Amino acid sequence: MDRIRIRGGRALNGSVPISGAKNATLPLMAAALLADGPLTLTNAPDLADIATMRALLVQHGLSVEHDKAARTLTLSGSATQLEAPYDIVRKMRASVLVLGPLVARHGRARVSLPGGCAIGTRPVDLHIKGLQEMGAEIEITAGYIEAKAPAGGLRGARILFPQVSVGATENLLMAACLAQGETELVNAAREPEITDLAMCLMRMGARIEGIGTDRLRVEGGATLLPATHPIVPDRIEAGTYACAAAITGGTLHLEGARLEHLGSVARVLREAGVDVAETHTGLNVSRMNGLRGADVMTEPFPGFATDMQAQFMALMCVAEGASMITETIFENRFMHVPELTRMGARINFHGSSAIVRGVPKLSGAPVMATDLRASVSLVLAGLAAEGETIVNRVYHLDRGYERVEAKLAAVGAEIERLPN
50 appears as a binding residue in the annotation: no
Alpha-carbon torsion (30, 33, 37, 38), positive or negative? positive
Instruction: Name the percent of the chain in helix, strand, coil, to the closest 5.
Output: 35, 30, 35
403 appears as a binding residue in the annotation: no
91 appears as a binding residue in the annotation: no
Cα 255 to chain centroid distance, Å, stands at: 19
57 appears as a binding residue in the annotation: no
Non-local (6+) Cβ contacts of 356 within 8 A are 293, 313, 316, 317, 319, 322, 323, 324, 325, 345, 346, 347
Non-local (6+) Cβ contacts of 387 within 8 A are 7, 8, 363, 364
On whether the CB atoms of residues 197 and 173 are closer than 8 A, the answer is: yes
Q: First and final CA of the chain: distance in angstroms?
A: 6
258 appears as a binding residue in the annotation: no
Q: Can you give the length of the chain in residues?
A: 420
93 appears as a binding residue in the annotation: yes
Torsion angle of C-alpha atoms 189, 191, 196, 199, degrees rounded to 10:
40
Q: Which ranges constitute the DSSP H helices of 222-336?
A: 235-248, 259-262, 264-271, 309-316
Amino acid at 116: G
Amino acid at 363: S
- Catalytic site residues? 117
215 appears as a binding residue in the annotation: no
Amino acid at 91: K
Distance CA 84, CA 86 (A): 7
Within 13 A of 35's CA, how many CA atoms are on the CB side? 27
Amino acid at 329: I
Gyration radius of the chain over CA positions: 21
Q: Does residue 366 have a cis peptide bond before it, meaning omega lies within 30 degrees of 0?
A: no
Phi, psi of 310 (to 5 degrees): -65, -40
122 appears as a binding residue in the annotation: yes
Non-local (6+) Cβ contacts of 173 within 8 A are 100, 185, 188, 194, 197, 198, 201, 208, 216, 218
54 appears as a binding residue in the annotation: no
- How many of the other CB atoms lie within 10 Å of CB of 120? 7
Distance CA 298, CA 326 (A): 6
2 appears as a binding residue in the annotation: no
- Known binding-site residues for UDP-N-acetyl-alpha-D-glucosamine equal 93, 122-126, 307, 329
- Known binding-site residues equal 22-23, 93, 122-126, 307, 329
- Known binding-site residues for phosphoenolpyruvate equal 22-23
